[in-house]
Amino acid sequence: MSGKKRAHISEVSREDGKPLVHLEPEDLMPLPAPLNDPAKAPAFKPLSTQIVEKYECLLDDTCAVNVPKPKTKAEEDELVRKFLAGLEKLFQRENNWTFLQPLLLTMEHCAKCQTCSDACHIFEATGRNEIYRPTYRSEIMRRLYFKYVKHGGLVSLWQHGDIKLNWPLIARLIELSYRCNLCRRCAQTCPIGADNGLVAHELRKLFSQEMGIAAKEIHDTGSMLQLKVGSSTGMNPEVVKDNVEFIDEDTSEKTGIKVETPWDVEGADVLLIHNAGEFLAWPENPGAFALILNAAGIKWTLSSEVVAYDSINYGVWYDDAQFARVALRHAEAAKKLKVKKIVLGECGHAHKALSVIADRLLLGDLNIPRESSMTLLRDIVMSGRLKLDPSRNDFPVTLHDPCNLVRLMGVVQPQRDILHKICPRFREMEPHGVDNYCCGGGSGFAIMQGNNFPDWRFNVSGRKKVEQILNAFADCLGPETPKYLCTPCSNCKGQFRDMLMYYNLWEKERILYGGLVELIVNAMTDAKPGFIDWEWH
Amino acid sequence: MTTVLLYALIYLAVLVFAVGCVIRAVQYARMPIHLRWELYPVPHEEARRVEHGGSYFEEVDWWEKPSHFNLAGEIGVMVPEMLFLKGLWEYNRKLWSRSFPFHFGLYLLIGCTALLVPATLVSLVQPTWMAGSLAAAWLGLCKALGLVGSVLVILGSLGLLSRRLTDEDMKNYTTPGDIFNLLFFIVTCILLLAGYLLSDQQFPGMLAFTQGLLTFSPSVQVPGLLAAGMICAALLAAYIPYTHMSHFIAKYFTYHSVRWDDRVNVRGGELAKKLAEYLTYRPTWSAPHMGADGTKTWADVAMANPAMETKKK
């Protein structure tokens, strides 16, 4: 079926066992040069026959969650029953006090004006394919809400529209809830204040909390692994300490400044929590943090408590209980060390999770102040405590705004103040700040590697960002000028690592991605030059 | 007798409208305080931050700094949004060209009613006042607001209806109820407008009608067409709070309680007390990792570690 055909709402219940849409490269939003030839676009791998036979892949060209096909009609009926039970619970205060009010407001007051659609990078990237419209999944849920939760009769059906509930609908809705980055750009433009991003979030919760269905990278090898061993990377406290020791040595050698990371210092001013992915994938980032904080004379520490050395909190994308469990453990570690504040490293979702959303879960002595590393770093850089030479960063730099930091938390200016001070060739992407576009890896996509899902996130969810990056560097494209995409977020860096590689933008255009602290250390005159080594990693 | 029935219907409609609005507002207001879910920019932030959409999180040790509530900033966003639908102007200009006349027309009609009622009250207490030029100007303004308002509502509704029926982006999401709602507005305003403009000399005017309404006087003769318009308007008013068109109530909550709600949970504060109560709720989510069997509280569920429990097994 052509991707250009509009899928009607009722088609979500189709029982022909086929995906609703298929996208061809020419259906997608065109990219600027040098990626402007769809014929030369990297191939989008099809799903394997085994996967299609085993799992429900009824939505589009990919499969994010791998829901096994029910073997019997009775199994199907049981899944439908569970879904309905979960749907009801989403609208009960005992079960969903956490988001009941915004959810109900969105369910009952969307005017279906489609203003939000133009704000959605996924909808735009697919050439405005109907199923990726922010209101498509919301309209399905809205009809289910009025029919099965409000038990509306004929008048309600006439007013709100009908929908046929069956297992194919649920299977498609599971996948559809994982076709949204939860960036909430759509919500920002809604004239009523409805929030279609929230609908995707709440659907994911229903599937996880009632049916035990979630993307395995987020649940099994994500929040569950973190609660089990301490980190979704699989590192236990001993391993992470070993790694940090190695990072300290490496940073000391590279910069000529002795770096030592303090562990479990009781009464420290700052408990710094990194996304533990940094220790493995981008060790220069925690190394740079350690160097900067030591040089600035900050009394800081890391915690080796299980969970507390990894700031990730995947629950924020799909499950309130998992979210609360991780947030509580972060706060407990801070309480145990009697620190004055928790500072979050360069990780967007960790910022929002612990600073903003968990604010209404942390009560009493667990309510320890949380702060963004962006503000602390700005304070250090602007205070003159570090000797900085901007000419060391004399290459084009642009900034990717992680949605969680800007639109969802309002931390916009500190990182810019730093870049303006230390990067003479800094330029903004358009749009930026609170109007930014997601990297395409938000809401867990950056870590979801199953089947051909990465192809989807590079071609679809990350497409708008690729366009923005190329436009930001339009005046200096080509391999002769190294360019730096500053990305103060681990999750976004994961997406850029994979996506820039996919489009060959390091080889062809010399676009390197990295954090903010690396640029600061690169400009420090006390450190040996060349902290940023312009090698792909 | 017919006129009295019309009065009764109008009073009943106003009552049903008011009850519907109150029920809806109370329903939303009584909901539990949700987890923070704000969207920036938040206009009551300090003015220097509103421009770039910043928050108090941009300050080092923000919890030690005095809190700000920039009322002017909030009003500066609310007024253009309410009066001129600024958001729609910014993000969906095509729709704004239809939605703005519709909404502004409604405001003018509300304004017409709001001016007519005090004029009527004054005329009942001090009939001589009505002979003055101020009264003539006042009633002239009422008339202008009513006429222009009706025309704008008709034009706006027709524009919205044609868009719903012809725009491919909207058709998929349009229900018979949506069409009916717009037709209801169009028919009502056409009847009111035509009924008023075509009314013969028997109809003593809107002021006399409102006087009759307030005094339940059966002597006022309302022409059939105008009476039909009034009946439709009464039914429409009674119907609105029970549909998604009551978004004028919802919008208060979506903005103030969700999008702009950046209140900090202070230790021992009012917010903390309410949140502590929610942690005693007993959820019943069924997935095994939840461990929510209806006997454990939300706090118990949050403190549990399903990964360690699996390990023990």
Q: Do A85 and B251 touch (CB under 8 A)?
A: no
| pLDDT tens per residue, range A337-360 | 999 999 999 999 999 999 999 999
Smallest Cβ–Cβ distance between B250 and the set A109, A355, A409 belongs to: A109
B224 and B121 together in one domain = yes
In a domain, B109, yes or no: yes
Q: Decide if pLDDT at B1 tops 80.
A: no
Best mutation site among B42, B175, B182 for testing chain A: the one with the most A CBs within 10 Å? B175
Q: Decide if pLDDT at A197 tops 60.
A: yes
In a domain, B27, yes or no: no
In a domain, B81, yes or no: no
pLDDT value, residue A38: 82
Q: Decide if pLDDT at A281 tops 70.
A: yes
Within 182-241 of B, beta carbons closer than 8 Å to A belong to none
Which of B219, B241, B263 represents a domain boundary (last residue)? B241
Distance of alpha carbon A75 from alpha carbon A69, whole angstroms:
9
pLDDT value, residue B130: 81
The 8 Å CB, 24+ separation contacts for B267-271 are: B267/A363, B267/A364, B267/A365, B267/A367, B271/A360, B271/B33
In a domain, B45, yes or no: no
Query: How confident is the model over A173-189, as a mean pLDDT?
Result: 98
For the sheet containing A300-301, what is the strand order? A300-301, A270-273, A341-344, A370-372
How many folded domains does chain B comprise? 2
The DSSP output letter for A427 is E
Reduce the DSSP state of residue A302 to 3 states and report it: strand
Q: Decide if pLDDT at B309 tops 90.
A: no
Q: Decide if pLDDT at A2 tops 50.
A: no
B144 and B217 together in one domain = yes
B223 and B303 together in one domain = no
B212 and B295 together in one domain = no
Give every CB contact of residue A90 below 8 A, 6+ residues apart in sequence.
A96, A100, A103, A202, A205, A206
Q: Decide if pLDDT at B313 tops 80.
A: no
Assess B251–A contact: CB distance below 8 Å, yes or no: yes
B189 and B305 together in one domain = no
Query: Which residues on B lie below 8 Å from A104 (Cβ)?
Result: 28, 31
Q: Decide if pLDDT at B235 tops 60.
A: yes
Q: Do A111 and B275 touch (CB under 8 A)?
A: no
B145's tokens:
């607001």
Query: How confident is the model over A227-233, as a mean pLDDT?
Result: 96
Q: Do A410 and B42 touch (CB under 8 A)?
A: yes
Structural domain that includes position B286: 279-312
pLDDT value, residue A404: 98
Q: Do A209 and B59 touch (CB under 8 A)?
A: no
B204 and B289 together in one domain = no
Q: Do B36 and A184 touch (CB under 8 A)?
A: no
Q: Decide if pLDDT at A3 tops 50.
A: no
B293 and B169 together in one domain = no
List, in sequence order, every residue forming a beta bridge with A302; answer none if it has no partner.
Answer: A263
Count residue pairs from A and B with Cβ separation < 8 A. Answer: 281
C-alpha distance across the termini of chain B, in Å: 80
| pLDDT tens per residue, range A433-459 | 999 999 999 999 999 999 999 999 999
Report how far apart, in Å, the C-alpha atoms of A517 and of each of A283, A284, A422, A488 are: 12, 9, 11, 8
Helix axis angle, A73-90 to A196-209, nearest 10°: 130
Q: Do B87 and A211 touch (CB under 8 A)?
A: no
Q: Which of B36, B65, B51 is nearest to A379 (CA)?
A: B65
Q: Do A94 and B282 touch (CB under 8 A)?
A: yes
Q: Decide if pLDDT at B310 tops 60.
A: no
Q: Decide if pLDDT at B312 tops 60.
A: no
B136 and B202 together in one domain = yes
Q: Which of A33, A372, A452, A174 is nearest to B62 (CA)?
A: A372
List, in sequence order, every residue forming a beta bridge with A301; answer none if it has no partner.
Answer: A271
B98 and B202 together in one domain = yes
pLDDT value, residue B132: 85
| pLDDT tens per residue, range B115-171 | 999 999 999 998 888 888 888 999 999 999 999 999 999 999 999 999 999 998 999
Instruction: State the pLDDT confidence band at A1, using cuts at 50, 70 and 90.
Output: very low
Distance of alpha carbon B140 from alpha carbon B115, whole angstroms:
10
Assess B295–A contact: CB distance below 8 Å, yes or no: no
In a domain, B80, yes or no: no
Distance of alpha carbon A217 from alpha carbon A225, whole angstroms:
10
Q: Decide if pLDDT at A405 tops 60.
A: yes
Which of B186, B211, B241 represents a domain boundary (last residue)? B241
Which of B188, B212, B241 represents a domain boundary (last residue)? B241
Distance in Å, alpha carbon of A101 to nearest chain B alpha carbon: 6
B149's tokens:
């308002």
In a domain, B157, yes or no: yes
Smallest Cβ–Cβ distance between A375 and the set B53, B58, B288 belongs to: B58
Q: Supply the pTM of this predicted model.
A: 0.96
| pLDDT tens per residue, range A282-296 | 999 999 999 999 999
C-alpha distance across the termini of chain A, in Å: 39
In a domain, B246, yes or no: no
Instruction: State the pLDDT confidence band at A4, using cuts at 50, 70 and 90.
Output: low
B297 and B230 together in one domain = no
The domain that holds B213 is classified in CATH as: 1.20.950.20
Query: How confident is the model over A244-255, as a mean pLDDT?
Result: 98
Q: Do B57 and A102 touch (CB under 8 A)?
A: no
| pLDDT tens per residue, range B173-206 | 999 999 999 999 999 999 999 999 998 877 888 9
**A444 dihedral zone (left: phi>0; alpha: psi -120 to 50; beta):** left
B286 and B229 together in one domain = no
Instruction: State the pLDDT confidence band at A40, using cuts at 50, 70 and 90.
Output: confident
| pLDDT tens per residue, range A74-115 | 999 999 999 999 999 999 999 999 999 999 999 999 999 999
In a domain, B286, yes or no: yes
Query: Which residues on A lie below 8 Å from B36 (Cβ)?
Result: 356-357, 359-360
B210 and B295 together in one domain = no
pLDDT value, residue A21: 95
Give every CB contact of residue A376 below 8 A, 6+ residues apart in sequence.
A270, A298, A343, B60
Query: How confident is the model over A167-192, as a mean pLDDT?
Result: 98
B245's tokens:
């068109």
The answer to whether the CB of B179 falls within 8 A of the CB of B171 is no
| pLDDT tens per residue, range A470-504 | 999 999 999 999 999 999 999 999 999 999 999 99
Query: Which residues on A lie below 8 Å from B265 (Cβ)?
Result: 359-360, 362-363, 367
Instruction: Quote the mean pLDDT of chain B.
Output: 94
Q: Do B53 and A208 touch (CB under 8 A)?
A: no
Q: Which of A488, A13, A441, A462 is nearest to A215 (CA)?
A: A441
Nearest CA in chain A to B312: A228
